[in-house]
Amino acid sequence: MQLFVVGVNHTRAAVALRERLAFAPTELAAALRSLRAALHSSEELILSTCNRVELYVVRDEPGGLPESDVAAFLASARGLAAAEIEPVLYAHTGPEAVRHLFKVASSLDSMVLGETQIIAQVKEAYHAAKEAGHTGRVFNQLFQRALFVAKRVHSTTAIGDRNVSVPSVAARLAEKVFQDLSTKKVLILGAGDTGTLTLRTFKERGVTDILVVNRTLAHAQELVARLGGHAQPLDQLAHVLPVADVVIACLQAPEPVITPAMIHAALQARRGEPMFLIDIAVPRNISPEVNRLDNVYLFNIDDLEAIVNQNLVERNRQISAALPTIEAEAAATLKDIELVDIEKVLVQLRRQCHDIGDDEMKKTLDRLGLAAPQREEVEQMVRRVLNKVLHTPTTALKEEAHNGRSFTLIELALRLFGLHK
Amino acid sequence: MSTIDWVFFHTAVALFAAATVLGIVGARSGRRGPVAATRAALLGAVIALGFMLARHGMESGAFPVANRFDALVFSCATLALLALTLDLVRGLPILSVGAAPFCFMDALVAATLGMPTAGATAPASAWVGLHVVATLISYGLFALAFIAALLYLVEQRQLKSGTSTSLLGLMPSLETFYRLLLGSLGGGVALLTVGLVVGYLFARRQGLPEGWRTDPKVILTTVTWVAYLLVYALSFTRALKGRRGALASMGCFFFVMTTFWATAFWTGFHKYV
**pLDDT tier, B169 (very low <50, low <70, confident <90, very high otherwise):** low
pLDDT of residue A406: 45
pLDDT of residue A340: 57
Q: Which of B159, B238, B241 lies nearest to residue A176, judging by beta carbons? A: B159
CA distance A101 to A106: 8
Q: Check whether A263 has a pLDDT greater than 80.
A: yes
- In Å, what is the CA distance from B106 to each residue of B2, B77, B102, B112, B251? 21, 10, 6, 10, 19
- Which CATH number covers residue B73? 1.20.120
The domain of B222 spans: 124-273
Check: CB of residue B100 under 8 Å from CB of residue B40: no
Q: Is A279 exposed, middle or buried (0-12, 13-18, 19+ CB in 10 A)?
A: buried
Q: Kindly report the average pLDDT of chain A as a whole number.
A: 85
> Is A303's CB within 8 Å of B168's CB?
no
Q: Check whether B78 has a pLDDT greater than 60.
A: yes
Cis bond before residue A283 (omega within 30° of 0): yes
pLDDT of residue B271: 57
> Is B162's CB within 8 Å of A299's CB?
yes
Q: Check whether A166 has a pLDDT greater than 80.
A: no
Q: Which of A161, A178, A272 lies nearest to residue B242, judging by beta carbons? A: A272
pLDDT of residue A62: 66
CA distance A374 to A397: 35
pLDDT of residue A408: 59
Q: Check whether A294 has a pLDDT greater than 80.
A: yes
Name B229's Cβ contacts closer than 8 Å, sequence gap at least 6: B189
> Is A158's CB within 8 Å of B31's CB?
yes
Among B121, B140, B174, residue at a domain's last position: B121
Nearest 5 degrees, angle CA A60-CA A396-CA A387?
A: 85
In degrees and rounded to multiples of 5, residue B191 shows phi and psi of: -70, -35
Q: Check whether A324 has a pLDDT greater than 80.
A: yes
Q: C-alpha dihedral over A268, A269, A274, A278, to 10 degrees?
A: -100
Whole-structure pTM value: 0.62
Q: What is the mean pLDDT of residues B167-185?
A: 85
pLDDT of residue A405: 45
Residue B216 Rama label (left phi>0; alpha psi -120 to 50; beta) = alpha
Rounded to a whole number, what is the largest CA-CA distance in chain B? Answer: 60
Quote the distance between the C-alpha of residue A378 and its chain's center.
58
Q: What is the pLDDT of residues A167-201, one digit of tens each?
A: 777 887 888 889 888 899 999 999 887 788 888 88
Q: What is the mean pLDDT of residues B106-115?
A: 84
Q: Check whether A244 has a pLDDT greater than 80.
A: yes
**B257 and B225 within one domain:** yes
Q: Which of A173, A179, A294 lies nearest to residue B175, judging by beta carbons? A: A179
The amino acid at A409: L
**Separation in Å, CA of B160 to nearest CA in chain A:** 6
**B133 and B264 within one domain:** yes
Q: Where are the alpha helices (DSSP H) in A132-216?
A: 137-156, 166-177, 193-204
Total domains in the fold of chain B:
2
> Is B241's CB within 8 Å of A273's CB?
yes
Tell me what ipTM this predicted complex has.
0.76
- Active site members of A: 50
Give yes or no for B155 touching A (CB within 8 A).
yes
Which of A297-306, B71-80, B177-186 shows the lowest mean pLDDT across its residues? A297-306
**pLDDT tier, A31 (very low <50, low <70, confident <90, very high otherwise):** very high
**B186 and B102 within one domain:** no
**B204 and B222 within one domain:** yes
Name every chain B residue with its beta carbon within 8 A of the beta carbon of A160.
Answer: none
Name every chain B residue with its beta carbon within 8 A of the beta carbon of A280.
Answer: none
pLDDT of residue A249: 92
Count of pairs with CB atoms under 8 A, one residue in A, one in B: 55
Among B101, B121, B141, residue at a domain's last position: B121
**pLDDT tier, A262 (very low <50, low <70, confident <90, very high otherwise):** very high
**B241 and B130 within one domain:** yes
CA distance A232 to A405: 58
- Strand order, beta sheet including A185-189: A230-233, A209-214, A185-189, A246-249, A275-279, A296-300
For an interface test with A, the pick among B159, B161, B180, B182 (most A C-beta atoms closer than 10 Å) comes out as: B159
CA distance A242 to B245: 22
Q: What is the pLDDT of residues B24-77, one digit of tens each?
A: 998 877 777 899 999 999 999 999 999 988 887 787 776 777 777 888 888 889
pLDDT of residue B177: 93
* Max avg pLDDT among A190-194, A400-404, B16-20: B16-20
**B251 and B141 within one domain:** yes
> Is A271's CB within 8 Å of B175's CB?
no
CA distance B20 to B229: 31
pLDDT of residue B1: 65
- In Å, what is the CA distance from A411 to each residue of A329, A345, A347? 22, 10, 15
Name every chain B residue with its beta carbon within 8 A of the beta carbon of A183.
Answer: none
> Is A294's CB within 8 Å of B244's CB?
yes
Cβ count near A14 (within 10 Å): 10
Q: What is the mean pLDDT of residues A189-214?
A: 87
Among B121, B152, B171, residue at a domain's last position: B121
Q: What is the pLDDT of residues B230-270, one digit of tens each?
A: 999 998 888 888 899 999 999 999 988 888 776 666 655 66
What is the 3-state secondary structure of B142-189?
HHHHHHHHHHHHHHHHHHHCCCCCHHHHHCCCHHHHHHHHHHHHHHHH
Q: What is residue A23's three-state secondary structure?
A: coil
Q: C-alpha dihedral over A186, A192, A197, A198, to 10 degrees?
A: -20
CA distance A4 to B121: 81
> Is B243's CB within 8 Å of A273's CB?
no
**B55 and B167 within one domain:** no
Residue window 280-319, chain A: list those with CB within 8 Å of chain B. 291, 294-295, 297, 299-300, 303, 306-307, 310-311
> Is B175's CB within 8 Å of A274's CB?
yes
**B143 and B40 within one domain:** no
**B115 and B51 within one domain:** yes
CA distance B271 to B121: 9
Q: What is the pLDDT of residues A43-52, one digit of tens each?
A: 999 999 877 8
Q: What is residue A378's three-state secondary structure?
A: helix
pLDDT of residue A162: 61
Find, in chain B, the residue whose alpha carbon is nearest to that of A309: B164
Q: What is residue A286's three-state secondary structure?
A: strand
**B171 and B86 within one domain:** no
**B238 and B192 within one domain:** yes
**B250 and B188 within one domain:** yes
Q: What is the pLDDT of residues A349-399, one digit of tens each?
A: 888 898 999 999 888 888 888 888 888 898 899 999 999 998 988 888 777
Q: Kindly report the average pLDDT of chain B as a whole number.
A: 85
Q: Check whether B121 has a pLDDT greater than 50.
A: yes
The percent of residues in chain A predicted with pLDDT above 90, rounded, is 36
For an interface test with B, the pick among A176, A246, A270 (most B C-beta atoms closer than 10 Å) comes out as: A176
